[in-house]
Amino acid sequence: MKHWIISCLACLAAFTASAQTFVINSGTSWSIPSLASTITKAGKNYEHIETSSASQTLVKVNALLGWTVTAHLSSTSNWDSALKLSVQRTGNGTGIAILSGGTTYIQLTSTPQTFFTGLLNLTAHRDNIPIQYKIEGLSVTLPVKTYTTTVTYTISGL
């Protein structure tokens, strides 16, 4: 009986590991308005914070049991260190999985950090989880050019 239970648990673990999917539908490029129109007095830096739409990225997770989503900046070769990019989950999307965390901004770095977690059963999923971005550090002293970075999301079982 003991061997049968261990075999069942091993099969379930193998099935769980191969059943995780993570789909991102994204339009994460957006234009930041020029700061030039807001400058009214010489000598001021006029720092600015910009946010994307509340559903700039839509995430779909289909996994078994519990899982964690981490996020980090994975490509920063064309990114100024003065810029701070943060993400937050602005809703639950659709489906019956239970989500936890991620509803306040976390500042992204090159080190993966927990963004949010989910709890599923054999038939549960979560679609269209909305993600919003915030950029801080925009300034008239920042050189004028196009800045790009890549945000990597990773799902792992608990």
pLDDT tens digits, one per residue of 69-98: 999 998 878 888 889 999 999 999 988 888
| Strand pairing report for 48-51 and 126-138 | antiparallel
What lies within 8 Å, CB to CB, of 8 at 6+ separation is none
The CA-atom distances, in angstroms, between 15 and each of 9, 39, 45, 128 are: 10, 58, 55, 24
For the cut 70, the answer to whether the pLDDT of residue 136 exceeds it is: yes
User: What was the pLDDT predicted at 140?
Assistant: 75
Q: Is residue 9 part of a domain?
A: no
Torsion, CA 107, CA 109, CA 102, CA 152, rounded to 10: 140
Q: Is residue 144 part of a domain?
A: yes
Note the pTM of the prediction, 2 decimals. Answer: 0.77
Q: Is residue 12 part of a domain?
A: no
| Strand pairing report for 148-157 and 106-107 | unpaired
pLDDT tens digits, one per residue of 16-50: 333 444 555 555 565 665 555 566 665 566 677 88
* Residue 123, domain extent: 44-157
CB-CB contact of 114 with 36 (8 Å): no
Q: 96: closest CA among 123, 58, 130, 129?
A: 123
Q: Is residue 22 part of a domain?
A: no
Give me the mean pLDDT over the 102-119 stretch: 94
User: What was the pLDDT predicted at 65?
Assistant: 78
User: What was the pLDDT predicted at 131?
Assistant: 95
Total domains in the chain come to 1
